Structure formats: structure tokens, C-alpha cells
Amino acid sequence: MNRLRALFLAPVWVIVGSLLFAPLAIVFLYSLLTRGAYGGLAPPWTFENYQRLADPLYLGIAAQSFLLAGISTLLCLLIGYPLALFISRSGPRKNLYLLLVITPFWISFLVRTYAWMFLLRDTGLINTVLEAAGLIREPLPLLYNPAAVVLGLVYGYLPFMVLPVYAALERLDLALLEAAADLGAAPRASTLRVLLPLSWPGIRAGIILVFIPCLGAYLTPDLLGGGKAMMIGNLVQNQFTTARDWPFGAAVSLALMMPVALLLVLLLRRKGEELL
């Protein structure tokens, strides 16, 4: 078996080694170099790029990213949990509802983000309708602000919350809730003290699965925030394009990878031996 297995794994190791590990290793090396003339890279080796992360400007962007990602994750939980509960209790229609939750994930993220631009911008549908109804004179500034970014993130990543919570609720033994009721628990008490704790593995997975992409978001703050809600991903992109400071951009990228890797370890730790 071992020879066939090695043969089968060879292509994937070539791909993963050259297109995942090597690029990340190069970013790590670049983060320790100095920006040369014309945006090039040059020795000496330095930690200066990491020291610059402590600049209040960049700390502010990091704080804003955590805040926006945190709010979006919380909203996904508040919206997604009841939906997952509804789906888990809807009998034969379950699969249809699940398909309805999954389908947007397949549809272009870019198109879904653009759909909100079409609704929210100054000449967009909402402002046009409100103006036609005589409710406003000037268009409301709905687009290009942090709230629009949160809206876009919730819209984009809601399925990542619903699916794991649904999976946890599916496994849950409904008799436990009946037992709680039989023993005199009010519906509220049985929800808080039986349902929520038992579905915690799903909630935890959902929180991590939503928070990770939200924290590293680039496209949503770029299109819906319009520079008024900059996140870490935008800072990375900016350093590699406009600012042409690759060493600093590389340091920002690795700083962004740290919480992401930490969350990943948290997610995997309790799943036991079977990793995939």
C-alpha cells in the first residue's frame, strides 16, 4: 500500500509545497527585509516592519477589523441560530431549506456584494424609492460606512453560521427537552439551560467559521466601506499595490495570520484524532 499511497500523494505535495508553503515562507522572509529604492527588497534583515505594527494608525485599523468582524459574527449568530432551529424542526422540508441557505454561498461573492451597492448607493434603489415617496430630499449616505460593511459581511457569511449550528441541533436528542419540560422547566429555562449548552459545539464552530473570513475580509470593506471602514486586508493590499512597501505588507499579513491560526487550532483541538 505504501508505494501506491506515496504515488497518490505526490501531486498534492508538489502543489501544496510550491503554491501554499513556499509562498507563505517567502512572505515571512520578505517581512524581515528592508524596503529598497523603487519599492524593491533589500537587506539588511530587520524586525522594524513588525515594530511599525505598533503605530496607532495600524493598531486602529486592527481594532476596527476586530470590532467589525465581532459585530458581524454576533449578528450572524443572532440571525442564524433561530433559522437553524427552524430548519432542524421542519421535517421533510429540511433539505429544501438547507439548499436555500447553501445556494447563496455558490453564487458569486462579488455579485452579491454588488447587489448591496445597487441597493445602497446614492442613486440606488432605496434612496430612489424614498425620494420618489417624498420622504427625503437628499440621498441618505447608506453606502461607504462601517454599517454597510457589517451588512455585507453578515450577508456573505450567514450560511457558515447556520450550517454547523443546524448540524449540532440535528444530533440533539429532543427527548431531553421534553424531560426538562416534564420536570417543570419553563420554556425559557429549558432553552437557556438545555438547548443552548447542548448546541454549543455547533455555535462554537459557527463563530469561528464566520469570524475567520470576516477578520481577513478585503472585498467587502473595499466595495461597501469605500475607504471609510478600512480593515487589515485592505492595509495588506494597499502596501502591496499603491504604497509598494512589500516588507511591511508582509509583516501585516503574518500578523493577520496569527489570530486566524489560533482560531483554527481552537476549532480542531476538540475534534479529536480524525482531522478531516
Partner 1 sequence: MKHWLPVHAAAVFTFLYLPLAVLVVFSVNSSRFTAWTGFSLDWYREMLRNPQLAEAAWNSIVIAAVATVISVSAGTLAAYALWKRTSRLLAGAVYLSLVTPEIVMGISLLAFFQWIFRHLDLRLGMHTVILAHVSFTIAYVIVVVLARLRTLDGTLEEAAQDLGATEWQAFRTVTLPLLVPGIAAAGLLAFAVSFDDYVITSMVAGVDSETLPMVIYAMARRGATPVLNAVSTAIVLAIGTLTLLSARLMRQ
Helix (H, G, I), strand (E, B) or coil at 42: strand
Output the nine-digit C-alpha cell for 3.
508505494
Using alpha carbons, select from 128, 108, 119 the residue that is nearest to residue 151: 119
Helix (H, G, I), strand (E, B) or coil at 195: helix
Considering only residues 128 through 147, tell me which ones interact with partner 1, judged by CB under 8 A: 128, 132
What does DSSP say about strands 34-35 and 41-42: parallel, antiparallel, or unpaired?
A: antiparallel
Considering only residues 56 through 115, tell me which ones interact with partner 1, judged by CB under 8 A: 79, 82-83, 85-87, 89, 97, 99-104, 106-115
Judged by beta carbon, residue 109 or residue 145, the one nearer partner 1 is: 109
Judged by beta carbon, residue 174 or residue 179, the one nearer partner 1 is: 174
Q: Are 146 and 68 in contact (CB under 8 A)?
A: yes
Number of residues in contact with partner 1, rule: CB under 8 A?
Answer: 83
Least distance (Å) from partner 1 to the CB of residue 179?
A: 18
Output the nine-digit C-alpha cell for 259.
489570530
Least distance (Å) from partner 1 to the CB of residue 31?
A: 10
**Where does this chain touch partner 1 (CB under 8 A) — which range of 1-9, 52-60, 66-74, 177-185?**
1-9
**Where does this chain touch partner 1 (CB under 8 A) — which range of 56-64, 174-182, 198-206, 268-276?**
268-276
Output the nine-digit C-alpha cell for 26.
517567502
Query: From the list 15, 67, 136, 174, which residue makes contact with partner 1 (rule: CB under 8 A)?
Result: 15
Least distance (Å) from partner 1 to the CB of residue 38?
A: 14
Considering only residues 195 through 254, tell me which ones interact with partner 1, judged by CB under 8 A: 212-213, 215-219, 223, 233, 236-237, 240, 246, 249-250, 253
Query: From the list 49, 146, 155, 205, which residue makes contact with partner 1 (rule: CB under 8 A)?
Result: 155
Whole-number Å distance between alpha carbons of 149 and 68: 8
Q: Give the H/E segment covering residue 150.
A: helix 146-171
Q: Does 50 bind partner 1 (CB under 8 A)?
A: no
Output the nine-digit C-alpha cell for 176.
431531553
**Where does this chain touch partner 1 (CB under 8 A) — which range of 7-15, 164-172, 173-181, 197-205?**
7-15
Angstrom CA distances, 168 to 56, 105, 146, 196, 201, stand at 41, 20, 32, 10, 7
Judged by beta carbon, residue 173 or residue 273, the one nearer partner 1 is: 273
Least distance (Å) from partner 1 to the CB of residue 16?
A: 5
Judged by beta carbon, residue 88 or residue 203, the one nearer partner 1 is: 88
Query: Taking the CB of residue 235, how many other CB atoms lie within 10 A of it?
Result: 23
Whole-number Å distance between alpha carbons of 182 and 160: 34
Judged by beta carbon, residue 67 or residue 110, the one nearer partner 1 is: 110
Q: What is the 3-state secondary structure (H, E, C) of 197-259?
A: HHCHHHHHHHHHHHHHHHHCCCHHHHHHHCCCCCCHHHHHHHHHCCCCCHHHHHHHHHHHHHH
Whole-number Å distance between alpha carbons of 9 and 12: 6
**Where does this chain touch partner 1 (CB under 8 A) — which range of 46-54, 56-64, 66-74, 121-129?**
121-129
**Where does this chain touch partner 1 (CB under 8 A) — which range of 17-25, 45-53, 66-74, 165-173?**
17-25
